[in-house]
Amino acid sequence: MSIYKGHIPEGLQDCMPEECFNKRRIENIIRRVFFSRGYDEIETPVFEYLDVFTNNNGSIEQDQMLKIVGPGNHILVMRPDMTTPIARLVATRFKDKPLPIRLSYLCNVYRYQQPHMGKQWEITQAGIELMGIEGPEADAEVVSTAIQCFLDLGLKDFQIDIGQVEFFNGLIEEADIEPKAASQIRVLIEEKNILALKDFLNKLPISIELKDIFMDLPKLYGNIDIYKIASRYARNSRCQKSLQNIIEIYDILKAYGFHEFITLDLGMVHNLNYYTGIIFRVFTKDLGFPICGGGRYDKLLSEFGYDIPATGFAINLKNTLMTLERQKGLINIPSIDILVVVNEWHRKRGYYIAQNLRRQGKRVEIFDSSYSIYTAEEYAKLKGISQIIDVSKLSEGEVPC
């Protein structure tokens, strides 16, 4: 026997009944939110050509992609995200549709990540894409949809951290910093590595004032009042417009009644080649990493020949399940209501009785005493089933309920 026959690869997991039951339950809740807000669900193939993901604005590095050689020696990848395939689909199949386009998905994506860090290769995501409309109204709609999902799931103590990549880009432009150095600054700010950031900035030929601003970016985190502090650093139109955009989005979310969930984070500067405006992540105090992330990505669809703006988000269902578990928000699988006992002489009647009970909303198992190693009573006790109907003991015409 192969040593791997009873194992699964690193980075993958089986989904056991309790988890699977709760996963399907939250999937259905999220689907209802998406559908009620006008988002139509789609699916794309698990495999895509590598070319689909080799663009200038991709959010996934190639070394994270799981690749195979397909027919005709074409390199295929297991989709590492859903946004890029949806952009391909919209650019090739939706050009005759009225704008905006509202699409949703609930699919697995696949990324190579270091298993020892607790990250999985297979990730179930639920998300939306709002394409063909720009402006704060669209971004606020997307953020509010994420909030509504978590409210309907019964999630407690979550917050939405909102940033704006153009604020950072405006500072980089003002300082005239070349792309490689800008990328390093971005990483250090995102990691909030203050000492390394200071050391790196001291090596650059920029003013002390700009160095101080970059040093303060990781600290620009908090409620809406952070806007007042950030405004002092917005010395060019690019930075000023980005802050104005955040305020407009915040005001719309306030109209939704969702402003209490919002925290500003101008030190959130990940994936700058991909995002073009607002970015956001959802955190809870019960988990040390995001359960949802999204933002505006106006350049992506132009890679496929359809130059329209877009914004969206993706919920990580595994992380959401972990959070709900820690908050005692999961439920047990409902037990079997009734055990219908049959034998070789009473199967037909037993099947009819079981089906009639199922139509009444009962969970019913058939127990065939002709083949079981247990008695019906032993089996019912093992499974926690409180009611047994032995068809052989029913009088003719008796209909149990």
- Contact indicator for 125, 106 with CB cutoff of 8 Å: yes
Angstrom distance (rounded) from CA 149 to CA 128: 11
Contacts of residue 341, defined as CB under 8 A and 6 or more positions apart, other chains included, come to: 350, 367, 369, 376, 388, 389, 390, 391, 392
Q: CATH top-level class for 9-155+285-333?
A: alpha beta
Q: Which pLDDT band holds residue 56 (cuts at 50, 70, 90)?
A: low
Q: Which of 370, 274, 369 is nearest to 60 (CA)?
A: 274
* 266 pLDDT above the threshold of 80: yes
pLDDT score at 1: 54
Compute the distance between CA of residue 192 and CA of residue 251 in angstroms, rounded to an integer: 28
- Does residue 345 surpass a pLDDT of 70? yes
Q: What does the pLDDT read at residue 4?
A: 84
| pLDDT at position 273 | 72
Q: With beta carbons less than 8 A apart as the criterion, state whether 152 and 145 touch.
A: no
pLDDT tens by residue, 287-332: 988 999 999 999 999 999 999 999 999 999 999 999 999 999 999 9
Please name the residues in contact with 208: beta carbons below 8 A apart, sequence gap of 6 or more: none
Got the DSSP string for 111-128? Answer: ----GGGT--SEEEEEEE
Distance between CA atoms of residues 215 and 203, nearest Å: 14
pLDDT over 70 for what percent of the chain? 96
Q: Is 157 helix (H, G, I), strand (E, B) or coil?
A: coil
Does the pLDDT at position 140 exceed 90? yes
The string of DSSP codes covering 315-368 is EEHHHHHHHHHHTT---PPPPP-EEEEE-TTTHHHHHHHHHHHHHTT--EEEEE
Whether residue 279 is predicted with pLDDT greater than 60 in this model: the reply is yes
The pLDDT assigned to 115 comes to: 59
Q: At what angle are helices 317-326 and 17-36 packed, to 10 degrees? A: 110
pLDDT-derived band at 5, boundaries 50, 70, 90: confident
Q: Which residues contact 16 (CB under 8 A, 6 or more apart)?
A: none
Long-range contacts from 215-218, C-beta under 8 angstroms, 24+ separation: 217/168, 217/171, 217/189, 217/266, 217/267, 217/269, 218/189, 218/192, 218/194, 218/267
Mean pLDDT of the chain: 92
Output the CA torsion 289→292→296→302 (10° steps): 100
The whole-angstrom separation of Cα 83 and Cα 156 is 28
Identify the burial level of 350 via C-beta atoms within 10 angstroms of its C-beta, where 0-12 means exposed, 13-18 middle and 19 or more buried. Answer: buried
Q: Which of 29-38, 52-61, 166-175, 369-378 has the lowest mean pLDDT?
A: 52-61
State the Cα–Cα distance between residues 316 and 8, nearest whole angstrom.
Answer: 22
Question: Which amino acid would we find at residue 243?
Answer: L
- With cut-offs at 50, 70 and 90, classify the pLDDT of residue 10: confident
- Yes or no: say if 223 and 263 are a contact pair by the CB < 8 Å rule: yes
Grade residue 37 by pLDDT with cuts at 50, 70 and 90: very high
CA separation for the pair 82, 110 (Å, rounded): 10
- Distance, CA of 225 to CA of 325 (rounded, Å): 34
Over residues 335-360, the mean pLDDT reads 94
pLDDT at 116: 56
> Whole-structure pTM over 0.85, yes or no?
yes
Q: In this predicted model, what pLDDT tens digit does every residue of 57-115 receive, in sequence order?
A: 556 777 788 888 988 899 999 999 999 999 999 999 999 999 999 999 999 999 887 75
CA angle 42, 278, 158 (to 5 degrees): 80
Confidence of residue 334 (pLDDT cuts 50, 70, 90): very high
* Span 377-392, pLDDT tens digits: 999 999 999 999 999 9
Which residues, including other chains, have CB under 8 Å from residue 186's CB and lie 6 or more apart?
168, 269, 270, 272
- Beta 158-164 vs 278-284: how paired, if at all? antiparallel
Just give the CATH number of 158-278. 3.30.930.10
Choice between 264 and 9, residue whose per-residue pLDDT is larger: 264
- The backbone torsions φ and ψ at residue 102, rounded to the nearest 5 degrees and listed phi first, read -115, 115
Do the beta carbons of residue 314 and residue 111 sit within 8 Å?
no
Q: Residue 357 corresponds to which tokens in the numbers above?
A: 């009970």
